[in-house]
Chains A and B, each alone.
Chain A
Amino acid sequence: MSVIPPESSKILEIYLLLAQYPMLASSIRRRMREELFQRGIISPERFEQEIREKAIESQKREGLGDEQRPEDSERWELRYHRIRRILTDFYFAYNLPIELLHKIVDDVLADRGGERPPVGSEISLRFNPELAPLEMVLRQAEAYESLPPEQRAQVQHHLEELRVVLLKSLLSDQLGFIRIAKRWFTAADFSYIIRHRIGSGKIGGKAAGMLLAYKILQATVPQLAERITLPRSYFIGADVFYDFLALNDLEYVNQKYKSDEQIRQDYPLIQEKYAGGRFPEEIADQLRDLLREVGNTPLIVRSSSLLEDNFGASFAGKYLSVFCPNQGSLKENLRDLTLAIRRAYASIYNPDALSYRRRMGLIDYDERMAILIQEVQGQPYRGKYFPSAAGVAYSFSPIVWNPRLRREEGFARLVVGLGTRAVERTPNDYPRLIGLSHPNLRPEVTPQAIRQYSQHQMDVIDLQSNALVTLPVQEVLGTDFPALRWVISVDDGETIRPPLTLGLSLQPSQFVVTFERLLQTDFVPLLRNILSRLAEEYHSAVDVEFALTIQPGEGGKPDLKFHLLQCRPHHSWNADLAVRLPEGVRDEDVIFVSNRMVPLGVVEGVEYIVFVDPEKYYRLPSAHDFSETARRIAQINRALEGKNFVLIGPGRWGSTDFMQGVPVTYADIFNTRALIELTSRKGGYASEPSYGTHFFQDLVESGIFPLAVSAEEEDDYLNLAFLRRATDQRSVWIEENSAALECIKVIHLPAERPAHRLEIRMDGKKGMGYLRPAE
């Protein structure tokens, strides 16, 4: 048993007194130290040194980390911080009267944390910020920032260092991030993060990306500042993940080096284990406080891992986000919230995420999960809760269906209701695709097509059943929906137009989601402005998730609020979102090159090419043979299901006019990975490709890339010799024979070039399909 020092009762008294001021205790202790330093009882340097010594001793005592196996910086920081508190109390108890503490408490209470600059706020920095406690760094940064400009200029280098330390401790130690972020974050921002942080550790990539984008926008487009908002957010520090593991004996679950099969097999069990885990009591308390603060506003729990959006990887869709409708009792809501967090934690072992990490070379990293908890942006309407609109926008359009669209002006996918339907791919249901250079150009023309390729379902939170539900748009929206005028058009059977009136004759069954009126407001310029500012500051293309609140405003104009939810840069850090074309590919390995309206993306490991020979196709004897070609393509599409193949053929795939291309429908080709159109101004051929516009939205939702190779485009190329020479394996899949089948060739690439596959890389300007060794 250790010896109890004589002053222990006084230490206890100080401890108990400060326990009554959980939020102000840090400020009080700071003032206590100031007294100690001012009275010469101990110098700041000596004090910090003693903390370090005690910290190292305690490491040894606890057997946690030594010189060979140092603790990571966050654990060390936590240790350092705790010892600092203990030493403050200890020195004060030994050297100064308790009455002085009461006076300090009164002072602090009087100015609630106080504006008084700390001791040593004079020019020089008298401690090493890398080693100092976070709070000390923050106070010093605040002090520097409050200096008049001339003095501040003298300490700018210190201030930058302090900000970098704070960024590294709270947000990210990714250098690319810090380089940009240090220009925008101020002490007040760090203070905000700390106030909204639960537990210690970093707040993770997603939260960091969101905050940085917001800071940039607030500073660079001040005229829009009040229209761009962040949802109320809370951050569960990444260290809580460790505490959770330790508390629930989950530390020894080590999945990442197992085989794919094993990982998949184990995942359900891991999810179950995590779902049963407990949280440290103080975390649970803080979550309870959070729930009291937000009331019954629905929440979303989003993964915000340290790797996510950070070390050159996007992790898009790999980790989990969970909605918490938050409509039950406090107890129920806490249960749901913690379950959501536990599920997000477990998703670190999601087989897709692990295989993605392996592919990106990130498997050895000690991944940790911070959590971003946000209020869901939206309004209650008829017992449901959802935003007027939500979506995802890209500063450089990854796809284009029309040569007039300027890709550098960006692109958006917009839905009514929660943004999940815009972010995810939704076969058979379609977000509005907006080329921001020409918001009125859409891939559809006729009212029927516009109706078909529109959003039919919406995701909303059902406040009564306390659940996230998907419902038909026409069921959810009524004529009293405040944003109706800007969201829907009316289908009167003949035309689809924005509503002229919102009178009683309007039936929800006539509603078609088009956002036509919204696109005539300043929404598009606003979005373009946001994207271009962010892209400029990031020196990279970005994508942004957002929600919109649209309320009727003055003079028939809408009152628009833009809620920023997430921002990811593409090139500079996120290697997987940038596509580079291969170099040094041998001529004979190139299958095709395309230069117009090329999307962004990669198709890997293609095993088959299904080639419709244009010469043979255009010489088919009868109309029926053209239709048969389409049917045979459908048959091959079914036969090759689960195989990796692409279609190459004459003219406009999907044209109803068979002279323009094979008259397939989407249902005939949906298994292909890419749809390549061969065009020529020579007789017979279609001269203009369609880029899949006959079913463009279907292609987008299924991730099928449309490409065109033109005989007249100088830099376009098709390796016709290879396609003609290759052995036709069609008979493996279809036994019959006919004139139409004669023009279809199924090429098995590994049979032509052993151990090779086709890869298509598309960087937004140029696309190349080439043979490369299979991985």
Chain B
Amino acid sequence: MSASSSQPYNPFRVAQQQLDEAARLLQLDAAVHELLRWPMRELHVTLPVRMDDGTVRIFQGFRVQYNDARGPCKGGIRYHSEETVDTVRALAAWMTWKTAVMDLPLGGGKGGIICDPKQLSPGELERLSRAYIRQVGRILGAEADVPAPDVYTTPQIMAWMVDEFSYQRGYTEFGMITGKPLALGGSAGRGDATARGGMYCLREAAKAHQVDLRGATTAIQGYGNAGSFAHKLGAELLGLKVVAVSDSRGGIYNPDGLDYEAVLAHKQRTGSVVNFPGAQPVSNAELLELDVQVLIPAALENAIHQENCERIKARFIAELANGPTTPEADAVLFAKKAVVLPDFLCNAGGVTVSYFEMVQNAYGYYWDEDEVHQRLDQRMTGAFWKVHEVARQHGVDYRKAAYLVAVSRVAEAVRLRGWA
């Protein structure tokens, strides 16, 4: 998937190359393949926003509906000062495969506004968010396209958006967006959904490989939402012994295990996990190479790469971060028989609970946390075994298998609809 070295890196081209690879393995019909290489629809909008000082500033935004063959588009809205439509296209494609691999009745989409939210006051941010919905609202809706939080967008922003949309329609439509605050149609169990889904997936992978993970030494890179909940739930659900964790300041290691509550309290008090009493320091790079059974990259892109992949000792790698392993490293790890649970399967707990949020909004009936957990477990378990089966059949790693599952599902829907 390496981009040609003579041109600057283009994320959309990389996404197309990933599809091309899967299409080749699937010997996909040429017309379907060509259709899937491009977004179905894009809306480019211009947003006038009244600033606090009375002046008006004009912002540009997008919404890309990559593919809705399987159902309404699903994907976040990013606020980013250097947003490009190619980035949004690539991410929308990726969402299409992610919802498909999870077998959710959804397509893929993504949106964005070119803005630096750090330069906006809360009032301006609200007016910008409402302006976006005023323009893009015409193609959104619970049955059409359902956005969610993403880079620099928050539950509060989702709340403003659902309010603006409902105002346009004349009635409240909670299901048009997910990631809303709990008090405004949000779903229980969203907080730890990504990590929880990843742990269910890891549990099934261990079963598939006949490994008992109780007491398995574990290292977690990243201690944001996903990483810290992986620490908690890994211990709680799977009995993992987490011996190392890290954040952007560095890492800590204690071969006797690290207590979740104590580390979290330390991080909340000091802003970082480093200097946690009784643990020895490790760098983020060293953490990856520790002699552990489970490695959970939950922070950086391209953390596992050509240079260090030979030294990775973990048998299971559960990707909670997006894109933590480079293609070159994938090949090496596969040859080493390491089990890599690819990001768009392993971290799909978040989008799955987003889907649950839509379902609950549609029902107007809300589940308790246990019910959310139970249904998430079902979904993750089902998705894993399907990927596992395809990986066996084709003799490929889980990442390629997940692509094969996803692309064939979307292709099937496209065919049934008679698009190609």
Residues of B within 8 A of A440 (CB): 52, 121-123
Q: Is A686 part of the binding interface, using a Cβ–Cβ cutoff of 8 Å?
A: yes
Is B117 an interface position by the 8 A CB rule?
Answer: yes
Asked if residues A438 and B269 are in contact (CB atoms below 8 Å), the reply is: no
Stretch at the interface among A91-99, A354-362, A659-667: A659-667
Known: A440-B122, A621-B3, A631-B285. A667 touches B82 (CB 8 A): no
B248 on interface, CB distance cutoff 8 Å: yes
- Give the distance in Å from the alpha carbon of A666 to the alpha carbon of B307 in the complex: 23
CB distance from A453 to the nearest CB of B (A): 8
Closest to A622 in B: B2
Please tell me which stretch of A244-252, A391-399, A443-451, A562-570 contacts chain B, meaning at least 4 of its Cβ atoms lie within 8 angstroms of it.
A443-451
Chain A interface: which of B32-40, B98-106, B298-306, B312-320?
B298-306
Residue B80 interfacial (CB < 8 Å): yes
Other-chain residue from B52, B116, B155 in contact with A688 (beta carbon distance below 8 A): B116
B287 CB to closest chain A CB (Å) equals: 13
Whole-angstrom CA separation of A621 from B9 in the bound complex:
7
Q: State whether A628 and B307 are in contact (beta carbons under 8 Å apart), knowing that A456-B268, A494-B182 are contacts in the complex.
A: yes
Q: A495 with B156: in contact, given A403-B119, A623-B301 (CB under 8 Å)?
A: yes
A656 to B78 alpha-carbon distance, docked (Å) = 13
A404, CB-defined interface residue at 8 Å: yes
**Is B224 interfacial (CB-CB < 8 Å)?**
yes
CB pair B269 A456 closer than 8 Å: yes
Assess whether B185 is interfacial by the CB under 8 Å rule: no
Name B81's contact: one of A497, A509, A688, A738 (CB within 8 Å): A688
CB neighbours of A402 from chain B (8 A): 118-119
Q: Which of A472, A492, A619, A663 contacts B5 (CB 8 A)?
A: A619
Asked if B52 and A623 make an inter-chain contact with CB atoms under 8 angstroms apart, the answer reads: no
Taking CB atoms, residues of chain B closer than 8 Å to A444 are 118
B8 near A428 (CB under 8 angstroms)?
Answer: no
Check A623–B248 contact: CB distance below 8 A.
Answer: no
Q: Which residues of B contact A241 (CB under 8 A)?
A: none
A452 CA to B8 CA, complexed, in Å: 34
Inter-subunit contact B8/A683 (CB<8 Å): yes
Which residues on B sit within 8 Å (CB–CB) of A627? 300-303, 305
Question: A415 CB to closest chain B CB, in angstroms?
Answer: 15
- In the complex, per-residue mask of B199-225: 1 if CB is within 8 Å of any chain A CB, else 0: 000000000000000000000000011
Smallest Cβ-Cβ distance to A516: which chain B residue: B122
How would residues 354 to 377 of chain B score, 1 for a CB under 8 Å from any chain A CB and 0 otherwise?
000000000000000000000000
Measured in the bound complex, the distance between the Cα atoms of B153 and A447 in whole Å is: 10
A652 to B82, CA, bound (A): 10
- A619-B8, A686-B82 are known contacts. Are A494 and B305 too (CB-CB below 8 A)? no
What CA separation (Å) do A663 and B2 show in the bound complex? 19
- Residue A331 interfacial (CB < 8 Å): no
Cα–Cα, bound, A268→B405 (Å)? 72
* CB closest chain-B residue, reference A618: B8
Q: Quick one: CB contact mask for B1-23 with A, threshold 8 Å, 1 for yes?
A: 01111101101001000000000
Task: Chain A residues near B2: list those with CB within 8 A.
Answer: 621-622
Residues of A within 8 A of B194 (CB): none
Smallest CB separation, B248 vs chain A (Å): 4
Report whether A623 and B14 are in contact in the complex, using a CB–CB cutoff of 8 Å. yes
Do B270 and A623 touch (CB < 8 A)?
Answer: no
List chain B residues, Cβ under 8 A from A683: 8
- Expressed in whole angstroms, the Cα–Cα distance for A648 and B152 within the complex equals 27
Q: Are B326 and A624 in contact (CB under 8 A)?
A: yes
Inter-chain CA distance A626–B81, complex, in Å, is 20
Task: Indicate whether A290 reaches chain B with its CB closer than 8 angstroms.
Answer: no
Which residues of chain B are near A623, meaning CB under 8 Å? 9, 14, 301-302, 323, 326
Q: Nearest CB to that of B159 among chain A residues?
A: A495
Q: Is the interface of A mostly helix, strand, loop or mixed?
A: loop
Of A457, A660, A666, which contacts B249 at CB under 8 A?
Answer: A666
Chain B residues whose CB sits within 8 angstroms of the CB of A430 once the complex forms:
271
B48 proximal to A (CB < 8 A): no
B154 engages A624 (CB within 8 Å): no
Q: Are B248 and A443 in contact (CB under 8 A)?
A: no
Pairwise interchain contact A624-B225, C-beta atoms closer than 8 A:
no
B 84-141 contacts with A by CB, 8 A: 87, 116-123, 125
Complex Cα gap A447–B152 (Å):
9
Distance in angstroms between the alpha carbons of A643 and B35 in the assembled complex: 56
- A456→B272 CA distance, assembly (Å): 11
Bitwise interface map of A from 442 to 482 toward B, beta carbon under 8 Å scored 1, else 0: 11111110001000110000000000000010100000000
In whole angstroms, what is the CA distance A445 to B115 when docked? 12
Closest to A441 in B: B121
**Which chain B residues lie closer than 8 Å to A24 at the CB level?**
none
Give B311 Cβ to nearest chain A Cβ, in Å: 14
Report yes or no: B271 in contact with A658, Cβ–Cβ below 8 A: no
Closest to B79 in A: A445
Q: How far is the CB of A386 from chain B (nearest CB, A)?
A: 18
B82 touches A660 (CB 8 A): yes
A743, B3: Cα distance in complex, Å: 18
CA distance A667 to B246 in the complex (A): 12
Q: Which of B6, B9, B303 contacts A659 (CB 8 A)?
A: B9
Q: A693 near B118 (CB under 8 angstroms)?
A: yes
Cβ contact within 8 Å between B181 and A495: yes
Contact B301 A659 (CB under 8 A): no
Is the Cβ of A428 less than 8 Å from the Cβ of B82? no
Is there a chain B Cβ closer than 8 Å to A133's Cβ? no
* Interface residue ranges of B399-415 to A (CB < 8 Å): none
Can you name the residue of chain A whose Cβ is closest to the Cβ of B11?
Answer: A659
Give the docked Cα–Cα distance between A441 and B181 (Å). Answer: 23
Q: Are B186 and A659 in contact (CB under 8 A)?
A: no
B328 at the interface (CB under 8 A from A): yes
Are the CB atoms of B301 and A447 closer together than 8 Å?
no
Tell yes or no: B350 within 8 A of A by CB.
Answer: no
Kindly state the separation between the CA atoms of A659 and B82 in the bound complex, as whole angstroms.
9
Min CB distance B409 to A, Å, is 26
For B121, what are the chain A residues with a Cβ–Cβ distance below 8 Å? 438, 440-441
A684 contacts partner chain B, Cβ-Cβ < 8 Å = yes
Could you tell me which residues of chain B, from 249 to 279, have a CB within 8 Å of some CB in chain A? 249-250, 268-272
Known: A438-B121, A656-B301. A428 touches B270 (CB 8 A): yes
A622 touches B326 (CB 8 A): yes
What CA separation (Å) do A448 and B268 show in the bound complex?
11
Contact B8 A624 (CB under 8 A): no
Which of A442, A472, A624, A652 has a CB less than 8 Å from the CB of B305?
Answer: A624
B268 contact set on A, CB distance < 8 A:
456, 474, 509
For B84, the closest partner residue in chain A by CB is A659
Per-residue CB proximity of A281-325 to B under 8 Å, as 1/0? Answer: 000000000000000000000000000000000000000000000
Measured CB to CB, the nearest residue on chain A to B303 is: A627
- Cα–Cα, bound, A452→B52 (Å): 27
CB within 8 A of A441: which of B87, B120, B271, B303? B120
For B117, the chain A residues whose CB sits under 8 A away are 445
Chain A 642-688 interface residues, beta-carbon cutoff 8 Å to B: 652, 655-660, 663, 665-667, 683-684, 686-688
What are some 24 contacts across the A-B interface (CB < 8 A)?
Answer: A438-B52, A441-B120, A445-B79, A452-B271, A456-B270, A457-B269, A492-B181, A619-B5, A621-B3, A622-B3, A622-B9, A622-B328, A623-B302, A624-B305, A624-B328, A626-B9, A627-B302, A628-B302, A657-B82, A658-B301, A684-B8, A688-B81, A693-B118, A738-B307
Known contacts A428-B249, A621-B2; 18 additional CB pairs below 8 A are A428-B270, A430-B271, A441-B118, A444-B118, A445-B118, A494-B155, A494-B181, A618-B8, A619-B6, A622-B9, A624-B305, A624-B306, A626-B9, A627-B300, A627-B301, A627-B303, A666-B249, A667-B249
Smallest CB-CB A-B distances: 9 pairs: A627-B302, A665-B248, A494-B155, A621-B5, A440-B121, A624-B326, A684-B8, A445-B117, A624-B305
A interface vs B, CB < 8 Å? 401-404, 428-430, 438, 440-448, 452, 456-457, 472, 474, 492-495, 497, 509, 618-624, 626-628, 631, 652, 655-660, 663, 665-667, 683-684, 686-688, 693, 738
- Name B residues whose Cβ lies closer than 8 Å to a Cβ of A: 2-6, 8-9, 11, 14, 52, 79-82, 87, 116-123, 125, 152, 154-156, 181-182, 186, 191, 224-225, 248-250, 268-272, 284-285, 300-303, 305-307, 323, 326, 328-329
